[in-house]
């Protein structure tokens, strides 16, 4: 196991994304397995991994310690595995179900700001 954490990039103006990041932070429980990064506050990972900012704002991204970038539902699976809870989402990889879960994630991500609005910036 690597000493480096899995980096999770999330959209900090999205209340749902921020809430999910906070849940992941609690699951990590200060073990340092995840580095949760609000991409609106810190874009170094976008530059370092040659990512498109619009795509990173569209769906969650997770970067594993070996530098592999995972997106959308795969990013959720990677983050959950990193905190030792991969078994909770393992079923989303089953044949047929995986396609439904992946499509639902993309639909949800596309509509999240309409459902939850935009979080006011806190300074």
Whole-number Cα distances in Å, 28 to 24, 82, 84, 99: 6, 8, 8, 28
pLDDT at 1 over 80: no
Average per-residue pLDDT for the chain = 90
Q: Is the pLDDT of residue 63 over 50?
A: yes
Q: Return left, alpha or beta for 112; rule: phi > 0 is left, psi -120 to 50 is alpha, else beta.
A: alpha
The stretch 64-74 carries a mean pLDDT of 96
Span 12-32, average pLDDT: 92
Give me the percent of the chain exceeding a pLDDT of 90. Answer: 67
Tokens describing residue 120: 């006011």
What does pTM read for this prediction? Answer: 0.86
Average pLDDT over residues 97-113: 92
Interatomic CA distance for residues 100 and 94, integer angstroms: 10
Nearest to 36 by CA among 3, 11, 59: 11
* Residue 120 pLDDT class (50, 70, 90 cuts): low
């Amino acid at each position: 196991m690597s000493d480096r954490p899995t980096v999770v990039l999330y959209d900090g103006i999205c209340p749902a994304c921020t809430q999910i990041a906070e849940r992941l932070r609690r699951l990590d429980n200060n073990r340092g397995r995840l580095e949760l990064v609000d991409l609106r506050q810190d874009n170094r990972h976008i530059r370092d991994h040659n990512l498109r900012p619009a795509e990173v704002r569209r769906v969650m991204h997770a970067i594993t310690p070996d530098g592999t970038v995972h997106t959308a539902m795969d990013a959720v699976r990677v983050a959950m595995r990193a905190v030792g809870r991969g078994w909770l989402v393992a079923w989303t990889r089953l044949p047929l179900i995986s396609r439904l879960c992946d499509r639902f994630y993309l639909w949800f991500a596309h509509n999240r700001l309409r459902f939850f609005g935009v979080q006011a910036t806190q300074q």
